Each structure stands twice: as structure tokens, then as C-alpha cells.
Amino acid sequence: MSHNPQPFLTDISEIRRRAREHLEEGAVTKDYEGDVKVAIQLLNDALATEIVCVLRYSSHYVAAQGIQSEAVKAEFGAHAREEQQHAMQLAERINQLGGTANFNPEGLLSRSASQFVAGKNLVDMIREDLVAERIAVQTYQEMIRYFANHDPTTRRLLEEILAKEEEHANDMHDLLVAHQGQPMLNS
């Protein structure tokens, strides 16, 4: 029995014709399987979360004091820069989907999954950053499941950010163990 597989691009002239339609929609084509409005809203909420994380890590970077704080301070600074990079990546994706990235500070905390908690001391700061990272990990995992195969570009971006957030959570866990002198996780 002869098997004649369908070609990947069944009608290149039709694809070319459709590419010329609705140019105002930019990268979003008729074949986009997701809900663009929902995607933009979810990404703007993630953007707010990243901005809050940048602010919290920056605050902790400035506030970290004491002989034991230099390594922690450096980690806070590195994480603030990486969270800023995530914010810009999310904003770029929002733009690609035809939306407007919401950088407005008004309502920022209500849009963010994480909170801004200053912390009374170095251990409190580390603990609050670990809590925020755990919130980010869970939020990105849920978003990745939502986008699944409907928007592979956004899903891959979120997977990349998730990997970094998991690394941040691990860093904060290790710092918390180092500064509390006891393991937080069962071996």
C-alpha cells in the first residue's frame, strides 16, 4: 500500500495571499490559535509581577548591610537585573501580539502575583524573595499549561523565564539555609 503524505505547506500561493491580508495585525496571523486579548492580559500581569520583583530585589540590594551580606547583596543585584530582562522580554511579546505593555505604576501591585515586602533583616529579605520566586514559578507553570500548543512562541518564552525563576528560588533557598544554619528541605 502506497502512503502519500500531505505536504507541510499545501498551498504556498494561498499562504502568500493570506500574509498580505490584515497587515495591521503584525505577527498575529489567522492561524494563531490562542485568544490574543487573554494572552496580552496574562502577559501584562506577568510584566507587573516582574516589575515588582525588580523593585523588591533592588530595595533588598540597597538595604542589605553587614559583614555577612556582601554575597547576598550581589545575588539581589543579579536577580534584579535578570527580572528586568524578563520584564522586557514579556513587554516585547505583548507588542508582537499587538498589545500595549502596561508599565504604568498605578495599580502595579494589584496586577502583580507577587508582593513587595521589604523585610526587617537579611534573613527576612531572603525569605520574602524565596516566597516571591515560588509564586512566580507556580504562575509561570500555569501560564505555560494555558498556552500549551496554542501559542508556542509565548510558551517557549515563559519556559525560558520559568527556568530562571526556578534558579532564583534555588539561590534564595540556599542563601536562607546558609543564613539560618538549617536545611529548609528534607534530604
Each residue's pLDDT tens digit, 23-44: 455 555 566 677 888 899 999 9
Average pLDDT over residues 163-174: 95
Output the pLDDT for position 36: 85
Residue 30 main-chain phi, psi, to 5 deg: -60, -25
**Mean pLDDT, rounded, of the chain:** 85
- Residue 157: closest CA among 30, 31, 50: 50
| Predicted confidence (pLDDT) per residue in 60-115, tens digit | 999 988 767 888 999 999 999 999 999 999 999 999 999 999 999 999 889 998 88
How far is 132 from 52, CA to CA, in rounded Å?
A: 10
How far is 65 from 43, CA to CA, in rounded Å?
A: 35
Output the pLDDT for position 115: 85
Delineate the domains of the chain, giving CATH numbers in brackets.
33-180 (1.20.1260.10)
* % of the chain exceeding 70 in pLDDT: 79
Neighbours of 114 (CB within 10 A): 22
Average pLDDT over residues 51-61: 95
